[in-house]
Amino acid sequence: MSEKKKPGRFTLQFNMEDPQQRMVSELLEQQGRHKAQFIASAVLSYIQCPNPQGPGNGPPAIDEATLERMLLAIMEKHPRFAGTAPSEPPGAEMPPASAASGKRPWEDAMGKDALDAINDTLALFQQG
């Protein structure tokens, strides 16, 4: 390839029939005279990002400990799963039956089928 007359100068033509290219074209038009800076920032961000979260890149990886903390936090916020009545504040004492049996508060509230479904989902996350 021969040397360009004006390095740094490019001509682009977007396919306006392609929804993605049309969207990018419209975004660039909004940049006015700052298109080059916008494109430079976008390309550098894309290259430097170790795991871009775009279509086809899959969901972000979540380890089991993080997922468990998230689930427990959600369950604590919802009285139905925490084993407390809606009128009681979060963190109220567990019912004596659950405490005596050694079960966690949500085991009575959710049932075996729901817990099995959650366990199956967690197993799929670990495989994925």
**How far does CA 42 lie from the centroid of its chain?**
21
b/e 60-93 (16+ beta carbons within 10 angstroms → b) = eeeeeeeeeeeeeeebeeebebbbbeeeeeeeee
Tell me the backbone φ, ψ of residue 7, rounded to 5 degrees: -60, 140
Number of helices (H), then strands (E), in the chain: 7, 0
Q: pTM of the full predicted structure?
A: 0.39
**In whole numbers, what is the pLDDT of the chain averaged over residues?**
74
pLDDT of 81:
63
Residue 88 binned pLDDT confidence (cut-offs 50, 70, 90): low
Predicted confidence (pLDDT) per residue in 19-73, tens digit: 999 999 999 999 888 889 989 988 888 888 766 555 556 666 777 888 888 888 8
